[in-house]
Amino acid sequence: MSEAESALPSSEPRAGVGADASPDAEVVVEIRKLWTVFGSLDGEQVVHRDLDLSIQRGEILSLVGGSGTGKSVLLRQILGLEEPARGSVRVLGQPPTHMSVTGAANVGMLFQHGALFSAFSVLDNIAFPLRELKLLPDDLIRDAALVKLQMVGLGPEHASKSPADLSGGMIKRVALARALIMDPPLLLLDEPTAGLDPEGADSFCDLLRWLHRELGLTVVMVTHDLDTLFDLSTRIAVLADQRVIVCGTARDVIAHPHPFIHEYFLVGRGRRAMEALHEGVTPPAAVGQPGGGPPPSFER
């Protein structure tokens, strides 16, 4: 812990890190002094150098960065799919590689293309982590899977379909239901709205916001879609120069003088999305009313 303390009084303008951490805020993911190194034929390539990041319970944190800055690698390290070269990752106080069969109760992951098991029906896909416990009765599992299927806005008539018969938006919803079947407190999303049409992306964002509120989730997502970014995030972490250059609310991030942030948010596409922000729209996730309301349904 001494190295964490020594890292704090650095002179860099880290707007968000720890700023909004109230004394009772619980750290769900803690990344300390993380190094990621890829070996290649022409020498080693350092992707992350002394990267620090902590994610508090209940927030929606977006990871942003140019391609090759290791956003997806960071997600995989949080999941324990990859080991960092140096440094530590702790999820809910444990190294992520220590999670076993009940891993689905700790972390849920929505992969970019859903990663549904193509040999199973929709319902079997959602029920898979529970069935693998080989303990709970099948009736209970089926009921629980049907509840989750409807919570992501799909009707029970889709339960017996196979993943090949689903549209892109439906695949993402089923994958989300599968990720949430054991009610994990932490949900990771890799490009949640990539490949969806604007309407589908909007309704998926509504669904994520609703689930975040209803289930009290902590969400970490990687996204390139600026609409999604400003729509959902409570905090944004920007990866550049092999570390997190700034982590804070959208306004804090945009105020940061780094050239990447200027390029990303204030030129072209970014500017258009920013105009919406300057019209005074705050991220609705922060102002949402707890409880009530059905999940945003999915009509297609």
Partner 1 sequence: MSTAPPLTADAQDADGALPRVDLREQDGREWAVASGRWTVLGMCTPSAWEALSVNLQVLPVREDRAWDLRPIAQLDHIGAQLLWDHWGQAWPARLEMAARHKAVLDQVAQYTTVAPPETPASLVDRFYHFAHGGLRNGMHVAQDFLRLIGQLALDLGRLIRAPQRGPWRDFSGQLYQFGATALPITALVGLLIGVVLAYLTSQQLRLYGAETFIVNILGLSLIRELGPVLGAVLIAGRSGSAITAQIGVMRVTEELDAMRVMGIPPGFRLVMPRVMALAIAMPLISMWTSIAALVGGMVAADLSLDISPSYFISALPRVVPIINLWIATSKSAVFGVLIALIGCYFGMKVKPNTESLGRGTTASVVASITMVIVVDALFAVMFKGVGFRS
Q: Give the footprint of partner 1 on this chain (CB under 8 A).
A: 102, 105, 118-119, 123, 130, 133, 135-136, 139-140, 142-144, 146-148, 150-151, 156-157, 159-160, 163-164, 182-183, 214, 291, 294
| DSSP states of 8-43 | TT-SS--SSTTTT--TTPPEEEEEEEEEEEEEETTE
Closest CA to 68 of 85, 46, 91: 46
Please state, in angstroms and rounded to a whole number, the distance separating the CA atoms of residues 6 and 60: 27
Residue 37 or 140 with smaller CB distance to partner 1: 140
Residue 34 or 211 with smaller CB distance to partner 1: 211
CB 217 within 8 A of CB 232: no
Residue 31 or 159 with smaller CB distance to partner 1: 159
242-255 as b/e: b if 16+ CB within 10 A? bbbbbbbbbebbbe
The helix (H) or strand (E) run that includes residue 171 is helix 168-179
C-beta of 141: minimal distance to partner 1 in Å? 9
C-beta of 90: minimal distance to partner 1 in Å? 18
Residue 47 or 179 with smaller CB distance to partner 1: 179
C-beta of 218: minimal distance to partner 1 in Å? 15
C-beta of 119: minimal distance to partner 1 in Å? 6
C-beta of 296: minimal distance to partner 1 in Å? 14
Residue 8 or 101 with smaller CB distance to partner 1: 101
Distances (CA, A) of 249 to 63, 100, 137, 171: 12, 34, 45, 30
DSSP state of 144: H
Residue that has been written with the tokens 């102002």 in this structure = 287
C-beta of 27: minimal distance to partner 1 in Å? 19
Residue that has been written with the tokens 């896909």 in this structure = 125
DSSP state of 133: T
Residue 1 or 164 with smaller CB distance to partner 1: 164
Please state, in angstroms and rounded to a whole number, the distance separating the CA atoms of residues 35 and 50: 6
